[in-house]
Structure 1
Amino acid sequence: MPTNEADESDADGPLEIRRRPVLGSVGAAGVASALGLSVGTGNVLAATQDGDWEAAAEERIEEHRTADLEVTVTDADGAELDGAEVNVEMQEHAYDFGTMIHAEFLTEGTEWGGPMTAPDGSEYGEDDQEQYAETVEDLFNMVVLENLHKWGQWEDNQEIADNAVDWAVDREMDIRGHVGLWGNIDAHAIPADVVEAMGVEWEAGGAENPEHDPEYIVERSMDHIEDIISHYGDDITEWEIKNEVLHEPEMIRAVEGDGVDDESVDHLEAEILGDWYEKGQEVADEYDVDIAVNDYNTLEGGYQDEQDEYERQIDYLVNERDIDLDGIGFQTHFAAGETLEPDEIIDNLEQFEDYGAGFRATEFDTFQEWDEEWEGPEEQGEYLHTFLKTWFSHPNTDSFLIWGHWDGVHWGPDMGFDPDGVLFDHDWNPKPAYDYYTDLVFDDWWTEEVGETDGGTYATTGFKGEYEITASYDGAEATTTATLSDGGDTVELEIDADGDGSEPADDSVDEPGDSDDDTGASDADDDGDGIPGLGVVSSLAALSGLAGYALSRSADDES
């Protein structure tokens, strides 16, 4: 198992919460293009290829991930207040940063009804469960269930899956649905009766009387797509309708061919594949839920043939079956020999820009146990930095998920290898990747600004997300919230000269969906769309064992 190469000095001493203001005087010219739909990147690719990839990435980030904020401060009579102090504090990211979760351990502290054990046989206890829940909540704003939304496992463990979804919804987190259908029999992703209808004997899963019955497979699978999407409604933000079509074609072959081994079936352009997506789209549209594709070896280096086949599948769904695809999932499991340079990441993504769908990094990790191993955790952390910064800078991307942030919940042992979670070892010691991740997400891309009004107005630029804004003047203050999104936002704050925040100005009008916080503030451009995000402000203090950007030993650390 890889050892933690983080600075050992970080392991001792009291920890205090620390946030550093960012984007001090950055003046974005405005958001030039909307996120997600076929936005070209050729104008900055040349700069990347010239060598300064990070400068090129930061230029794209400023253009696509930030927006302008203007705060106007007046007194009760509407007179603009010059020199009022304005405090702008980010609360949540608009962008989704997520992780895979073990539903049962998260909610019950167990695995398959018993203690969850480490590879050495030791049991994870209540403290581990609490730390697991805290790190999920504090470091991420999106989750995806590792196993219990897979068809066969969901039918057997629906209550546990529902509890995990409820846990995330209570914390205003986004949730990816993984998956509607997946053709992997051994992963218990297909119910036994459907496996039998595929003509497969599978004693371990209870499929003992196989009889090929394509019509039964179609009926059961269509019912399941409707059942699972409608069961959760808009609690789930997106569903992968059929996972890993490239690599798990057996269910499609069983429907359209003579059985699971019928290689004459073109599973990437199969009629049933389009039918499944049509059904998924029909049900998902009822709840305003996204639908997506997802597969591996679709972005990693050395798999151009598979990437071309993935595009063929997407092209079939979008252009031949008229599917309104919302997301293209790239699993992004990177072995040491599969890494990409930043310009290669941009280049590979360009292949998929013409399908009107956002890009999702759905299962990122830098797993150790392949033919070519990483030199160690520091190199893995450095690559997370390179990939995440490049990924975040691309205007079509909208989410980045880690496939296991802790060694205690990782897929390595299922493959016969040591676990290799991205951020923490078994004992919750942060790996170098933890610092790289938090430095980007909660420091470089986190906005906290303090300034004064000039002529009654304070203007700044911030990362898109949710904000709390406070203005103070002559001992009085007023506070409001704002959503910074494409096009920026303008906020009006009214302060009572007698020392109390007053009601909004008489000419302000509460439109349907506008927030009403009764704090003496009005948001001139608020569209009412709250964005679930990262609950980090109040809860990072609970992570007593973490060493990272936000946790420092004294006020002297701040640069």
Structure 2
Amino acid sequence: MKVAIPSGLILSAALLSSLCGYAEGAGEWDFVSRVRNENAQPQRQALPVRLEPRSSGIMEYGPRWERPCAEAFKANEVYMLSVRARAIDPQAVGSVALKLAVSSPGKIRGKVRPVFRCGPVLSAEWETFSAPFSVPEDAAPGSLSLFLVHGWGDAAVEVADVQIENLGSEKPLQAYARKGRWYAGQEADAAWRLEAQSMIASNRMGTFSVQVLDAQGEPVKNARVVIEQQRHAYRFGTAVNSLLWRWIAPDAASNPQLQAEFKAYRAESGRKGLTFAQRQAEIQKYFEVLKADFNYAVFENALKWEAWSGAWDGFRQEDTFALTDWLHASGLDVKGHALVWPGWGHAPAWTKKMADRPEALNRLVHAHITDIGAAMNGRVAAFDVLNEAFNNHDYMDVMGSEVVGDWFRQADAVLPDAQLNVNDFLLMANGGYWTEKLDFYDALVGRLLDEQAPLEGIGFQSHFRHSFLTGPQRIWVLCDRFGRYGLPLVCSEFDVDLADEELQAAYTRDFLTAWFAHPDTQAFLQWGFWQDSHWLPYAGLYDRDWRMKPNAKIYRDLVYNQWWTGREEARSSDDGRVELRGFLGNYRITAHASGRKVVLENIELKKDGASLSMKL
């Protein structure tokens, strides 16, 4: 099956929102724009069309070309979407993007999600891009369309030679790789890579100055000093599914609720031969990997209002407390998520009864903050106080925006030792060009600080789903923008939902490198790590059978090899002194001389270094 487009179609993002049109003919494409004035008369556009980019910062799909796919799609087959494209700008190198989507006709936003999206970034030269995809269910002829959409950037886009090819069902989707440039700075020799290494050495390493002395306090020459890192200062974390905790309890096999869940899981997953004991072993592995791979954890759902109140089945506060204790005992700090998610859809249904009673709603929110905060005080290192306020503002619509500062003050009263954060999505992701939302978030942070609210961290969710992968240098631009407030920046919910495992791993490497390198960042949390406990099917580090995917290998190589001081040693000089460089964190330091040895444990290395003496 192939769908073709005439060579030389010109696309760009500028179009009055009231304009739409189409071109007739079997081999031609329909031109569509999001119509705000439903009474506006469509205007017909001839092919090819040249449009100038929009100046609007609104994150919406721009004018687009649509072509229905005449052939059927099968859920068990793999398809390859290919296109040649360029930006009409001699200076464009990764600063202009094209969005490609396969979706229901006329729908690329709203409740109906596209079955596939991707976003190549363009240069002024013609380049070929291809991306494999599959559909979640069989689709009849004409039920899906291919869309070409101007993504972002200041230049028009020219597109040619578009086709969809059926590759059959012999190989899985993961066996096929994308071709072309999918984010700025993807190249192996991109200049940002050397800059990042310099930034990491400057921002994430320090120097131990050690003097070795004998029993009389005299310097020991030629003593051997060894440093071995025990823990990162930087927080590398993941979301944790608290519902899995019950599976490793001693009485799990006799728990009727778990038995029912197991039967449902086995039926839904098609794993008919799986035993309860095998499922327990898989989940036991979950906690072993959690302990081995991370030093920071955030509850995915257990501390959301619906779960905490019992509105969601399966969540119990005693499980949350027990898992928190286990995480601490396993060496992981804990982050809470989220105290106030200010939309009716993210709180128990009965809260909406307060929609016309602002004072009652305010008391209710404060009572919830007090309840959960008092229970988790001393148990969490940080908490997302406000979550996704740009898209969820029902509470502020009822009570006014000034209540947000009060929520932070209330949280500070009951969680005095926790870092209190804001959190939102699609700021770093999708190219990092949703200017309207970035401006809103910037203003929110500034207003809270002006009001002297105890805001102490800024969270960026960073879910990368199908479309634009944000280039590392754009990540730095955004970090600079929000870093000016002097608050730590937290990558709070990272994942890359790509079936192409090599591209997924490469982008994980480059995003994490850029994020870790920037001096204002504090933490990097992934939103899950195991396919069987992840909200996105391809995004985990480990697949269902605990195969370590390429992105897991990249993550572990960076965090526990390239950025980990496993063992460094040197000999002391005449004055008994030695200097050793290492990544920031906690260390074991051992000094050897003349058959004697002294060991110091849990010595912290900070950015400004650490000086100490060791007496043999």
In the superposition, the TM-score normalised over structure 1's length comes to 0.70
Residues 100 and 402, structure 1, Cα contact 8 Å, conserved in 2? yes
2:207 corresponds to which of 60, 68, 83: 68
1:381-530 correspondence runs (5 A) = 381-412=505-536, 419-447=537-565, 448-455=567-574, 456-481=576-601, 482-495=603-616
Residues 587 and 604, structure 2, Cα contact 8 Å, conserved in 1? yes
SS at match of 1:427: coil
SS at match of 1:87: strand
Distance 1:140 1:337 in 2: 28
Displacement of 1:103 in angstroms is 0.7
SS at match of 2:455: coil
Which residue pairs with 2:448 in the alignment?
Answer: 317
Aligned partner of 2:569: which letter? V
Q: What do the CA deviations read for 1:332-386 (whole angstroms, capped 9, x no partner)?
A: 0012422122211101222212222110000000023xxxxx6x01100100100
1:377 corresponds to which of 491, 494, 501: 501
Aligned partner of 1:191: which letter? P
Aligned partner of 2:426: which letter? N
Q: What do the CA deviations read for 1:285-337 (whole angstroms, capped 9, x no partner)?
A: 3xx21100000011121422211111122122112x22232110000001242
1:330-369 correspondence runs (5 A) = 330-368=460-498
Residues 281 and 323, structure 1, Cα contact 8 Å, conserved in 2? no
Greater alpha carbon shift after TM alignment, 74-83 vs 129-138: 74-83
Which residue pairs with 1:229 in the alignment?
Answer: 373
Residues 66 and 461, structure 1, Cα contact 8 Å, conserved in 2? yes
Displacement of 1:120 in angstroms is 2.0
Distance 1:78 1:196 in 2: 74
Distance 2:545 2:539 in 1: 12
List structure 1 segments (4+ residues) > 3 angstroms apart after TM superposition: 1-6, 106-116, 121-124, 183-186
Distance 2:516 2:390 in 1: 26
Distance 1:173 1:3 in 2: 35
Structure with bigger helix share is 1
Q: What do the CA deviations read for 1:229-271 (whole angstroms, capped 9, x no partner)?
A: 1211121011111211111122322434xxxxxxxxxxxxx12
Residues 326 and 356, structure 1, Cα contact 8 Å, conserved in 2? no
Aligned partner of 2:572: which letter? T
Aligned partner of 2:607: which letter? D
Displacement of 1:407 in angstroms is 0.2
Distance 1:443 1:411 in 2: 29
1:307 corresponds to which of 438, 441, 463: 438
Which residue pairs with 1:159 in the alignment?
Answer: 318
Q: Percent identity?
A: 30
Aligned partner of 1:469: which letter? I
Q: Which has the larger radius of gyration?
A: 2
2:335 corresponds to which of 176, 180, 184: 176
Distance 2:197 2:281 in 1: 39
Residues 181 and 241, structure 1, Cα contact 8 Å, conserved in 2? yes
Q: 1:107 to 1:489 in 2, by over 3 A?
A: farther
Which residue pairs with 1:294 in the alignment?
Answer: 423
Residues 421 and 458, structure 2, Cα contact 8 Å, conserved in 1? yes
Residues 464 and 484, structure 1, Cα contact 8 Å, conserved in 2? yes
Q: 1:107 to 1:81 in 2, by over 3 A?
A: farther
Residues 176 and 236, structure 1, Cα contact 8 Å, conserved in 2? yes
Q: 1:3 to 1:446 in 2, by over 3 A?
A: farther
Q: 1:489 to 1:79 in 2, by over 3 A?
A: same
Which residue pairs with 1:120 in the alignment?
Answer: 269
Distance 1:442 1:71 in 2: 24
SS at match of 2:484: helix
Displacement of 1:215 in angstroms is 2.1
Residues 85 and 451, structure 1, Cα contact 8 Å, conserved in 2? yes
Displacement of 1:3 in angstroms is 6.5
SS at match of 1:128: helix
Q: 1:153 to 1:159 in 2, by over 3 A?
A: same
Distance 1:309 1:86 in 2: 52
Displacement of 1:466 in angstroms is 0.4
Distance 2:174 2:232 in 1: 29
Displacement of 1:185 in angstroms is 4.5
Q: 1:121 to 1:272 in 2, by over 3 A?
A: farther
Which residue pairs with 1:243 in the alignment?
Answer: 387
Residues 233 and 584, structure 2, Cα contact 8 Å, conserved in 1? yes
Displacement of 1:422 in angstroms is 2.7
Q: Which runs of 5+ in 2 are unaligned?
A: 1-133, 135-171, 177-186, 311-315
Distance 2:413 2:535 in 1: 33
Q: 1:5 to 1:235 in 2, by over 3 A?
A: farther
Tell me if 1:58 matches 2:58. no
Residues 382 and 418, structure 2, Cα contact 8 Å, conserved in 1? yes
SS at match of 1:408: helix
Displacement of 1:491 in angstroms is 2.4
Which residue pairs with 1:136 in the alignment?
Answer: 290
Residues 107 and 163, structure 1, Cα contact 8 Å, conserved in 2? no
Q: Which runs of 5+ in 1 are unaligned?
A: 7-47, 199-211, 257-269, 369-373, 413-418, 496-559
Distance 1:325 1:58 in 2: 31
Residues 427 and 437, structure 2, Cα contact 8 Å, conserved in 1? yes
Aligned partner of 2:297: which letter? V
SS at match of 1:323: coil
Displacement of 1:492 in angstroms is 1.7
Higher-RCO chain (CA-CA 8 Å, sequence separation at least 6): 1
SS at match of 2:532: coil
Residues 465 and 485, structure 1, Cα contact 8 Å, conserved in 2? yes
Distance 2:331 2:395 in 1: 35
Distance 1:103 1:367 in 2: 22
SS at match of 2:497: coil
Displacement of 1:391 in angstroms is 0.3
Displacement of 1:173 in angstroms is 1.5
Distance 2:174 2:283 in 1: 21
Q: What do the CA deviations read for 1:427-476 (whole angstroms, capped 9, x no partner)?
A: 00011001111111001111120222122122111111000011112222
Distance 2:192 2:472 in 1: 6
